[in-house]
Amino acid sequence: MKNAETPVVKVVLYGAMSSLGSALMAEMLHRQHEVIAILDDLTALAPRPGLRAKTGDLFNAERVKQSVAGCSAVICLLDAPGLPFASEHVEKTIVPGPVEQVLAVDALIDGMQAAGITRLFLVGDFEVLDDPEIEDQLQRHAAEEIREALQSSTLHWTLVNAPHSVPGLTIEHFSRVSSSLEPGLVEPIERLHRVAVGVADELRLNLHVGEHVNFVATSEQ
């Protein structure tokens, strides 16, 4: 039961159908936050207390504005499958590529600024900003463009390196005790859970605004 004096934290989540999205939903709901998952398919997630699903379009600033209005923070997982978009100018791939990610962030920034929402956690392939040996020049250019767009905005943003995902994990996996999990899932679930806890703590303490962080130790990647 929530204390009547406890402020309501409403978190909008783009990328809820990914493994990290599931971990984030479980952790935010555990902390009694409200989670609004932006989806193409409103039946994709089973109903549960504190969780709400809305349709949206990550590539349309006006739709972003409508989706995030009244929330406390936005978490966007750029490398997640099933990101919501109805734009005719974006090819519906399973996971948006570097060019599509830049377009999505531009719309996200414009929509959030129009709605007066400032706190953003952007999770993606930002390791290229730290490691000059990574040869993916297209992803590096996209990451640099995204960082520059955020720096020019009024948002209170944090870039987060995307952890290694595990297909098939759902919010139910992050609600079970370790002894009931399938063999081989305990380590990746614990790893993703640590990232979710890190993001939730950053939100609560308002840390690393305007910075690039990595919640996963190098030995675990």
CA 160 centroid distance within chain: 9
- The token pair at 76 is 């966007």
- Give the pLDDT confidence score for residue 198 in this predicted structure: 95
- Ordered per-residue pLDDT tens for the chain, 221 residues: 555 555 689 999 999 999 999 999 999 999 999 999 999 888 889 999 999 999 999 999 999 999 999 999 999 999 898 888 766 655 565 678 999 999 999 999 999 999 999 999 999 999 999 888 888 999 999 999 999 999 999 999 999 999 988 888 999 989 876 667 777 888 899 999 999 999 999 999 999 999 999 986 544 43
Q: Outline where DSSP puts E strands in 17-165.
A: 34-38, 51-54, 73-77, 119-124, 156-161
Q: Outline where DSSP puts E strands in 55-146.
A: 73-77, 119-124
CB 142 within 8 A of CB 102: yes
CB 112 within 8 A of CB 68: yes
- Give the pLDDT confidence score for residue 220 in this predicted structure: 41
CATH homologous superfamily of 10-214 equals: NAD(P)-binding Rossmann-like Domain (3.40.50.720)
Alpha-carbon gap, residue 14 to 24, rounded angstroms: 11
Q: 30, 125, 102, 38: which is closest to 74 by C-alpha?
A: 38
